[in-house]
Amino acid sequence: MTYTQLAVGSVVAVVLIDLWVLRTRMVTRAVFWSSYAIIFFFQLVTNGMFTGFGVVKYDGDSIIGETSPAVGPPPFLGEGRIAYAPVEDLMFGFALILLTIALWVFWGRRGVQRTPVAGPPVWRRSPAEGNQV
C-alpha cells in the first residue's frame, strides 16, 4: 500500500467516523473550516521546512509526483507538492485534526470532564484538603 492510498483512506475513514459514527458533523461547520485554515497554514510552514531542507525525504514511487535525490530539493509547488511537502502530508494532517476535534466534541457531549477541577493535582493536596475530586 502506498503513502497516497493510506492518506486517502485515512481521510475517507475519518470523515465517515465524523459524520456517521460519532455524529459530530464537524466537516459541515464553518467554525471547523476557519480553525482548520489556521492549522493548515502552520502545517505548510513546518512540513515545508522539514522537506525543503531535506530533513524528511519521500520515495517518489510512494507519493504523488516524483522525487529524485540527484536533482536536489523537491519543488516548492507542483509535482504533487505544496510548500515542498507532498499533498499526502496535508491529507494526514486533515484526518488527524478532524478526528481529534470530533472526539473532543463527542466526549464533551457525554460529560467527560465537563466541570474542570481547580487547584493542585490530587497527589499534591494536603491531607487536610482531602482527595475530593
Residue 133 belongs to a domain: no
Is the pLDDT at 99 greater than 90? The verdict is: yes
pLDDT above 90 (res 37): yes
Mapping DSSP onto H, E and C, the string for 101-131 reads: HHHHHHHHHCCCCCCCCCCCCHHHCCCCCCC
User: In this structure, is residue 22 part of a structural domain?
Assistant: yes
* 55 located within any domain: yes
Q: Is 69 helix (H, G, I), strand (E, B) or coil?
A: coil
Does the model's pTM come out above 0.85? no
Asked if the structure places residue 129 within a domain, the reply is no
Provide the pLDDT confidence category of residue 71 given band limits of 50, 70 and 90. Answer: low
State which residues form the domain around 109: 3-124
Helix, strand or coil for residue 64? Answer: coil
Percent pLDDT > 70 in the chain is 79
- Specify if 34 maps to a domain: yes
Most confident among 9-13, 71-75, 107-111 (mean pLDDT): 9-13
Residue 97 counted as domain residue = yes
Return d(Cα 83, Cα 73) in angstroms, integer. Answer: 12
Q: Residue range 80-86: average pLDDT? A: 84
Overall number of domains in the chain: 1
28-32, 74-78, 118-122 — most confident range: 28-32
Residue 130 lies in a domain: no
Which region among 41-45, 106-110, 116-120 has the lowest average model confidence (pLDDT)? 116-120
Does residue 132 form part of some domain?
A: no
Q: In whole angstroms, what is the distance from residue 103 CA to residue 52 CA? A: 33
Confidence of residue 124 (pLDDT cuts 50, 70, 90): low
